[in-house]
Amino acid sequence: MKIIVLAKHAPDPESEISVASDGKSISQSGLVYDINDWDRYAVEEAIRIKEEKGGEVVVVGVGTNCDDTLRKCLAMGADRAIKIPVDTSFDAYQTAEVIKEAIKDEQFDMIFAGLMSQDLNNAQVGVLLAAMLDLPVATAVAELKVEDGKVIARRELEGGYLEEVELSTPCVLTIQSGINEPRYVSIMGIKRAKSKEMKEVSVSPSVSTLEIEKMYLPPVKKAEMIEGDPSQIAEKIIKILKERGLV
């Protein structure tokens, strides 16, 4: 069983966010990067399948600065990494296109992507890649069973419902958070990862479908703010609750 996992080195939405002076991009100062949260689950799921059934896990990252994330995946237990050192930024077509090109000589049973990237929130790259490779797809996979030549996936729907579907392999799955408990990277893992292969494949995107006009902080309608030290805040909250008969 060979699984390709896409892992993005992505800024954490909880880091300090501001718009760069061009008004069209995110200012890099204050951004903290790590493996995209959804991709942690995807990498973990792939490694578990490999541990049970044997095979290989290959991680693929797009970005000039994605080494740390690829190393982390190798330390978790992925076998090798492919780095595509190009910054595709916004256009998911570009990201999917360069990944397609970089893996064209790989035979695989499955490709895992995260459901979405935590910075762009597009939820596109995995599905676009599936379409470009003309493979069956399932998104938001919350439970997975792998059998010979097919997989049974439970997709997350709205309201806590799941949809169970069966796909033939090869296929592309996008993984929802919570499908497993991603392991922590051990010191041993980090040591072992040093000797693992990280291959660079240079490809440039050719398509361009979008243009950024403007980036800005969304206006937030503000709640009535309670000021003061923690004790005063607590006091005011209790006053509000009392007025409403809630305490």
Partner 1 sequence: MKVFCVAEYRFDELNPLSVELLNLANQIKGDGTAEAVVIGKDVGKYAEELAKYADKVWKVEDDSLENYTPDLYVDVLLQLAEREKPDLILIGNTAQGGEFAPYLAAKMNAPIATDVVAVDVSDGIKVSRYLMQGKLMVDLKLKSTPAVLTIRQGVFKEGQEVGGEIVDAGIKPGKESRRKFITFVEPEVGEVDITQADIIVSVGRGIEDASNIELAEELAELLGGVVAGSRPVIDSGWLPKDRQVGISGKVVKPKLYLALGISGAFQHIMGMKDSELIIAINKDPEAPIFGVAHYGAVADLFDVVPELIEKLKEIKG
Ligand X SMILES: Nc1ncnc2c1ncn2[C@@H]1O[C@H](COP(=O)(O)O)[C@@H](O)[C@H]1O
Binding stretches for ligand X (CB under 6 A): 6-8, 36, 38-39, 60-63, 92, 95, 113-114, 116-117, 120, 122-126
CA distance readout (Å), 111 to 31, 85, 108, 241:
29, 20, 7, 51
What is the secondary structure of 159-196 as a DSSP string? GG-EEEEEEESSEEEEEPTTSS-PPPPPHHHHHHHHTS
Q: Does residue 181 belong to the site contacting ligand FAD (CB under 6 A)?
A: no
Residues numbered 128 to 157 that lie near ligand FAD (CB under 6 A) are 140
Residues numbered 57 to 116 that lie near ligand FAD (CB under 6 A) are 115-116
Residues numbered 76 to 115 that lie near partner 1 (CB under 8 A) are 90, 92-93, 96
Q: Does residue 246 belong to the site contacting partner 1 (CB under 8 A)?
A: yes
Q: Pick the closer one to ligand X by CB: 62 or 245.
A: 62
How far apart (Å, rounded) are the C-alpha atoms in residues 7 and 102? 14
Angle at the Cα of 88 from the Cα atoms of 82 and 90, rounded to 5 degrees: 135
At a CB cut-off of 8 Å and minimum separation 6, what does 13 contact?
Answer: 118, 119
Q: Does residue 173 belong to the site contacting ligand FAD (CB under 6 A)?
A: no
In angstroms, give the least distance from the CB of 30 to partner 1: 12
Q: Does residue 14 belong to the site contacting ligand FAD (CB under 6 A)?
A: yes
How far apart (Å, rounded) are the C-alpha atoms in residues 88 and 101? 14
In angstroms, give the least distance from the CB of 239 to partner 1: 10
Q: Pick the closer one to partner 1 by CB: 150 or 199.
A: 150
Of all residues in the shown chain, the one whose CB is closest to ligand X is: 114
Residues numbered 142 to 171 that lie near partner 1 (CB under 8 A) are 152, 154-168, 171
In angstroms, give the least distance from the CB of 154 to ligand FAD: 14
- Per-residue x/- mask for partner 1, residues 211 to 230, rule CB under 8 A? xxxxxxxx-xxxxxxxx--x
Task: Report helix angle 67-76 to 187-194, nearest 10.
Answer: 110
In angstroms, give the least distance from the CB of 210 to ligand X: 12
Angle at the Cα of 14 from the Cα atoms of 127 and 58, rounded to 5 degrees: 40
If residue 119 lies in a helix (H) or strand (E), which one and from where to where?
none
Residues numbered 106 to 125 that lie near ligand FAD (CB under 6 A) are 115-116
DSSP annotation of 93 reads H
Q: Does residue 14 belong to the site contacting partner 1 (CB under 8 A)?
A: yes
How far apart (Å, rounded) are the C-alpha atoms in residues 144 and 77? 19
Residues that bind ligand FAD (CB under 6 A): 14, 115-116, 140
